[in-house]
């Protein structure tokens, strides 16, 4: 039999069969450990029933993966929706841009969602959205509390397996509850003392929003490292900068201090958001610094 892993908990894998609509609690065969493999939420697997006292089935084989992410730990996603709050907590653009680079490295489509429009000044949240609209990304503004933006987002998610990713406290679980029309994911609050979200999602889990539409709730994170990227290639991962490559005065332009830089000119005229350029500079310096060690 074949199915998809929709949840992992305490060494058990819960495999959902679209054919039967049933979920089977499984253990993974020991051969996976020997091969250094570990099943992930989202994996398509072959499994068999064991009907023993403590477990119903066994995951026998991981079918070929379309893609896999280590953070959040999910496989075979069609797209990732990066969720930030317009306020409480404030959006972290550097974290967002690092994650966009990670997804681009894996050829996974991405979109942005700025939630909590009900408590954020309209002009402010619109300016956040404009940053990434200039980069050519789909952007949604929502309020999980009041339902704003629900229909547009549902249309975007329809028929796909979408991972919701972003820091704790931005409303990922609340959005998933809104989109599914029922309480499927546990929600938390933002600490008044730290301004950070309290972790309610302990592990990635897939929920069925509607037939053929799957949502993955993932644990929030507050930091991200970029691996396997040279600073000379960094601009390739900023679409609004990539299209200007070759228009600078110098072919080896790093888009930092050089005169005649088309990227810096675009930042000054506003066609490239300054926040994105600042992320580029911060990541460039981070990569350059890591090279020294």
Cβ of 131: how many Cβ atoms within 10 Å?
Answer: 22
Instruction: Write down the pLDDT at residue 184.
Output: 67
pTM for the whole structure: 0.87
Q: For residues 221 and 244, what is the distance between their CA atoms, to the nearest angstrom?
A: 32
Q: Under 8 Å CB-to-CB from 132, ≥6 apart: which residues? A: 112, 139, 273
Residue 188: predicted pLDDT: 46
Contact in structure between 289 and 225 (CB atoms under 8 Å): no
Q: In tens digits, what is the pLDDT along the chain, a chain of 293 residues?
A: 999 999 999 889 999 998 898 999 999 998 888 888 899 999 999 999 987 777 899 999 999 999 998 877 899 999 999 999 999 999 999 999 999 999 999 999 999 999 999 999 999 999 999 999 999 999 999 999 999 999 999 999 999 999 999 999 999 999 999 998 877 656 544 433 333 444 454 578 998 888 788 999 988 766 677 878 999 999 999 999 999 999 999 999 999 999 999 999 999 999 999 999 999 999 999 999 987 65
């Amino acid at each position: 039999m074949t199915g998809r892993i929709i949840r992992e908990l305490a060494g058990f894998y819960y495999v959902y069969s679209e054919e039967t609509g049933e979920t089977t609690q499984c253990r993974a065969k020991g051969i996976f450990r020997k091969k250094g493999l570990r099943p992930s939420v989202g994996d398509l697997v072959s499994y068999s029933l064991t009907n023993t006292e403590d477990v119903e089935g066994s995951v026998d084989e991981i079918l070929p993966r379309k893609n896999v992410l280590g953070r959040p730990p999910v496989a075979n996603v069609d797209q990732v929706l990066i969720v930030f709050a317009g306020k409480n907590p404030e959006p972290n653009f550097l974290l967002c841009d690092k994650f966009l680079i990670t997804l681009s490295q894996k050829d996974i489509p991405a979109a942005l969602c700025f939630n909590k429009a009900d408590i954020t000044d309209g002009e402010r949240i619109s300016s956040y959205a404009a940053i990434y609209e200039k980069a050519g990304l789909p952007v949604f503004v929502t309020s999980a509390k009041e339902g704003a933006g629900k229909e547009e987002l549902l249309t975007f998610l329809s028929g796909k397996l979408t991972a919701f990713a972003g820091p704790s406290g931005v409303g990922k679980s609340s959005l998933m509850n809104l989109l599914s029309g029922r309480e499927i994911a546990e929600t938390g609050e933002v600490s008044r003392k730290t301004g950070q979200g309290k972790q309610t999602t302990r592990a990635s889990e897939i929920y069925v929003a509607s037939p053929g539409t799957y949502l993955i709730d993932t644990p929030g994170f507050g930091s991200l490292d970029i691996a396997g990227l040279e600073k000379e290639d960094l601009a390739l991962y900023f679409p609004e900068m990539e299209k200007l490559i070759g228009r600078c005065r110098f072919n080896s332009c790093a888009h930092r201090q050089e005169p005649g830089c088309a990227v810096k000119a675009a930042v000054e005229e506003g066609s490239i958001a300054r926040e994105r350029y600042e992320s580029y500079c911060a990541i460039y310096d981070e990569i350059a610094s890591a090279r020294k060690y």
